[in-house]
Structure 1
Amino acid sequence: MVELDVQIPSAFDPFAEAKDSGAPGAKEYVHIRIQQRNGKKSLTTVQGLKAEYKCEKILKDLKKEFCCNGTVVVDQKLGGKVIQLQGDQRKNVSNFLTKAGIAKKEQIKIHGF
């Protein structure tokens, strides 16, 4: 029998880049993603903030600034806290984090369509 090297595609994992890849500086990025819910509804997630920052206080300021609701979710698989905001707030969150001095523009990765 002949063995073929065939790659079988698996399900898409949007958090694959954030996992520990062993590359230098892989954990220094703040990942801002959008997840589609149902219809026109969407969810913005912020992951990769340093442990020295209080996610609850950042969330409170984000909610007040953008007039949206949100929550902080502790994800054991990703190893940290993830901020979730209602709506497509990717650019707003990016600008907020750079103005507040939480992250530099080079440290922010915006994912999505």
Structure 2
Amino acid sequence: YTLNTLMSVCAKAGDRQGMLRYFRAIEEAGLAPTIDSWNVVLDFCSRARQPSQARDVLSRMRASGIEPNAFSYTSMIQAHVRSGGLGGGVDAAARVLGEALSAGV
């Protein structure tokens, strides 16, 4: 939990390198990143207006055996809306919302 907190502090400060350093520290310690770890990275991508990177993170998260939760999908929606204004961003956000509903979230 301490590493997740440090990741979150770095992410909110806009320190991508610091956030990723602590994420790697979790893995190097032989621990599996939790849903909270992944959500910190997704939230960072959302705040940075990087929906394609958020999509990559979501794919890696699923590949690791962790299914997205409501916060994960909310971050994805926000990433699309923040990056695309009211045009394509909203359409992409609607697709993510449909995906979340299909997943039962």
Higher strand share: 1
Higher helix share: 2
Query: What TM-score do you get using the length of structure 2 for normalisation?
Result: 0.28
Query: What TM-score do you get using the length of structure 1 for normalisation?
Result: 0.27
